[in-house]
Amino acid sequence: IVEENEEDILNTLQKAIDSNVDYVELRSDVINDVTSAKVSYIIDKMKSISDIPIILTNRTGTEGGFFQGSEEERIKILSDNACFVEYTDVELSTDSTLRQKVIDNANKTIISYHNFSETPSFEYLEDIVIKAKNIGDIPKVAVKPQKLEDTFILLKLMMKYRNMIGISMDKIGAYTRVIGPIIGAPITYAAIDSQSAPGQLDIKTTDEIIRKLKYWFHTMNDKERIIIKKLNK
């Protein structure tokens, strides 16, 4: 949900309900004149409408967000509201002391890393995933591919670490958003109205493709399954 005011946030939430999604992500960094109290109020209003679990995010500019305040103010919004939502997303790059405040207050956490310039090496990203797994519940890695081969780095990573969110951005990497759940990613992101990240597909398209791929996988014969297992290793 990337809306600036309460009315639009709740309207978009209703569209998400109608689309039968499993989670909604509230991008608090997009909200006009955002404060911790305002986010608390909006979460309460959202919960009065639906029991869909919420992922709370408050992105910095360097990681694709719009929050303009200090780092302490940004973290306060997350830590004050972490107990009200299912998942709180906090960046791995956050100062460890501030990051721990969020983790201590959260029900569950997504520890995220975003790179809008490139796709680092497999070894570099693996180190990020390991660090994120050690401090939170779900690692999230979103990177920009320069060529198709870059997307294979992310797929290899997701095959090795199943309980992670992996996204290769832009049109080149759009397919990873639907392959991820097939190979073990617990969450993928889709647009309700406006894209919140480059290459993001809409909910209907994402859902249809994932369902078709899962059906195909479950109807494979034993020989095909063995090949897939070998590839995953």
pLDDT of 100 higher than 70: yes
Residue 140 falls in the annotated catalytic set: yes
Which stretch of 67-76, 97-106, 150-159, 204-213 has the lowest confidence by average pLDDT? Answer: 204-213
Residue 114 falls in the annotated catalytic set: yes
**Span 196-212, pLDDT tens digits:** 666 788 899 899 998 88
pLDDT grade, residue 193 (50/70/90)?
confident
The residue from 140, 144, 147, 230 that is catalytic is: 140
Instruction: Give strand ranges (E) for 159-208.
Output: 165-168
Mean pLDDT across the stretch 120-130?
Answer: 98
Q: Measure the CA–CA gap between 53 and 23, rounded to whole angstroms.
A: 5
* DSSP 3-state of 8: helix
The residue from 114, 131, 214, 218 that is catalytic is: 114
pLDDT of 43 higher than 90: yes
Mean pLDDT across the stretch 79-96?
Answer: 98
